[in-house]
Amino acid sequence: MAFYRSSGVLLHVTSLPSYGGIGDLGPAAHEFVAFLASARQHVWQVLPLGPTGFGNSPYAATSAFAGNPLLISLELLSDWGWLDGSRIASLNGRSGSVDFHRVEERKLPLLFEAAGNFLDRAPGDPSLAAQWEQFEEFCRAEAVWLADYALYAVLRRQFNTGAWTEWPEPLRRRQPDALAQAATQHSRAIAQEKALQFAFSLQWHQLRKAAAQQGIRILGDVAIFVNMDSADVWCHPEIFDLDENLKPRRVAGVPPDYFSPTGQRWGNPLYRWDVLAERGFDWWIDRIRHACSLYDIVRLDHFRGFEACWSIPAAEETAVNGEWVKAPGLALFRALEAALGPLPLVAEDLGVITPEVDALRHELGLPGMKVVQFGFGDKGAHIHLPHRYTPDTVAYTGTHDNNTTLGWWQAAGKAERAAIEAYVGPVGKQPVWPLIWAIEASVAQMAVVPAQDLLELGAEARMNTPALAAGNWSWRAPETSWTPELAARLAALSEATDRDNDPLAEAKK
């Protein structure tokens, strides 16, 4: 895939100012697409879209394939005739941070009500006949994961244990009789889950189509590991490193680093790469195929884990006592290419990167990432400064894991501030746009700016603090954020730095 010289904005869907207490795929998302178009931006980067579990992290989803039902727009469901508009009239909360617990309490019942209405009415309602046909086709097309996920989601609510490993033994072990009995007992709830996944898919693809019509590509995100409490591990325990009790032997994380002196113990089960290799990496092929159906470009989170991953004994409370264990690397990607053809991938290659990881990325021809915030420490960090960039780079002022640029500046010491001003000139108390200009003016093929930086917000708007268990992912943009003045400022910068390149127009040349 050609990565045209372009620029864009990192904004997760949950951060949109929508009704229901959480950003969704409805009017506010379409308004944001219109803003990007007026600002001459051609990339919208989002975080993973899967249903979130404990901690609400999009990187700890309960499925690698399903969409998060909380991202479904109630307004669009009302427009479709799935839900009476009066049922959502009392909801507010277009602004303010996300209270995930309150969203689940208020929005989920309405979503299930809408799904039930669709199931009851659609087969005999001419106005819903086309959607019913689409729903039936969706169920056939997504059969590889949909039924299993729907049953898992229903059982997860029923047992309310927080983990499938605590379910009754026959269900934990997926004994056929137990699964058949559960499927019969919960047939209505399972059908509702499928209907919600269809609604998510339909709304997402409508949004993606609207973006494509404006020459905007969606840059999505695939987390390398999956959550232990997920439909994926429950359904495919043989491809994960589990013991005889279906508990992880070793778990994923990263060693001590910039973010944490004790490292990060993520707790995700590790893959049985030997088993996956024997099967031709079938599960990964399905996963990347699905990701490419959702996104125009796919960012591979923790790319270094495809070369070697940090393996931590499950009994350890921190990530200190781990070891690097080899992963399949090139063999996996060659299998993906053989099955799916050329892939539009970006490697998230931040952190301590070895020559072997660099070699894998270069062999695959994948763009890597650079974050200008990382560049002002010692000389070794200068690879993150724009004068060191190469065209095969996606450049950022910061990511979802960093402080905002203003928050970072305010916390920086004298030496770091002096280095910043030596690089971009005096900034006073406003360092954000000079650093945005620096990455946009670089040779990096793509430059992406978090929405918080465009709005020059401080640490209060930070999306995530790695190794911090609570209080993350809840930032939402103020409702009046996407102004014509901001669009004009971005558009002028895009034009001045030759980033106003419509990929649709380029493709026609």
Q: Which residues are catalytic?
A: 301, 348, 401
CA distances from 96 to 19, 23, 111, 282, 355 (A): 11, 11, 22, 42, 44
CA distances from 429 to 396, 408, 410, 433 (A): 20, 12, 8, 11
> What is the C-alpha separation between 105 and 20, in angstroms, rounded?
10
> What is the C-alpha separation between 314 and 250, in angstroms, rounded?
5
DSSP helix/strand/coil, 307: coil
> What is the C-alpha separation between 100 and 97, in angstroms, rounded?
9
Task: Find residue 297's DSSP bridge partners.
Answer: 219
Q: What are phi and psi of 76, to 5 degrees?
A: -70, -35
DSSP helix/strand/coil, 10: strand
> How many helices (H) and strands (E) would you count in the chain?
19, 12
Q: Quick check: 340 and 285 in contact, CB under 8 A?
A: yes
Q: Quick check: 453 and 405 in contact, CB under 8 A?
A: yes
> What is the C-alpha separation between 300 and 394, in angstroms, rounded?
13
Q: Quick check: 83 and 210 in contact, CB under 8 A?
A: no
> What is the C-alpha separation between 221 and 301, in angstroms, rounded?
7
Judged by phi (left if over 0) then psi (alpha if -120 to 50, else beta), residue 263 lies in left
Tokens of 349: 């290659």
Judged by phi (left if over 0) then psi (alpha if -120 to 50, else beta), residue 174 lies in left
- Spatial strand order of the sheet with 297-300 comes to 345-347, 297-300, 217-222, 43-45, 6-10, 446-450, 393-396, 368-371
